[in-house]
Amino acid sequence: MTQHDDHHHHHDHAHGEAGSELPDIALRVRALETILSEKGYVQPGVIDAIVETYETKIGPRNGAQVVARAWSDPAYLERLRQDATAAIAELGFVGRQGEHMVVVENTPRQHNLVVCTLCSCYPWPVLGLPPVWYKSAPYRAKAVIDPRGVLADFGVALPAETAIRVWDSTAELRYLVIPMRPAGTDGWSEERLASLVTRDSMIGTSLALPAGDAA
């Protein structure tokens, strides 16, 4: 596993096309979008709305179900630890960009943060489309150099005694953070628990929502 503790940075990436910011399919989609927009077949605003939906709602719902099951079922959590790709596939979430999954668990002693320092490797089957900020150079650089500062930028302040570990996604490994289960959720259904799991909490730039925010 490629990982970073505090300010230590070691990178051994294999991403396919060096320096490529988007997978081939995403480049083709973007080209098609541009052509259709120029010809007046679709409105850019409509496409933006669809992308936003898949980026923040539909896609992350898959990962939220994985987290909720892990919170609820110790046997499932253990399967995730042993073979996350297979355990995630049990829930039907498979496909390109999700072949080599690893889960990392937040605890009071350690918080996990995911980045891809060379491009934008991201677990599409469980998180949907990567947010723009995840692909940005400032996030990719600062997450390694100053992860606590990145969390502060996202409004997260952790106790000084909580260590922060940064995990660097590659074409071979993609990570899903299991955030800490919020207090006051004993006996909750998986569906209700999933409503507390956000995309950013599964990247590590935020925490799970408190119990009072349940849908």
What are the tokens at 169?
A: 């996604």
Residue with tokens 């253990």: 78
Q: Give the active site residues.
A: 116, 119-121
What's CA 96's distance to the chain center, in Å? 15
The rounded distance, in Å, linking the Cα atoms of 95 and 100 is 10
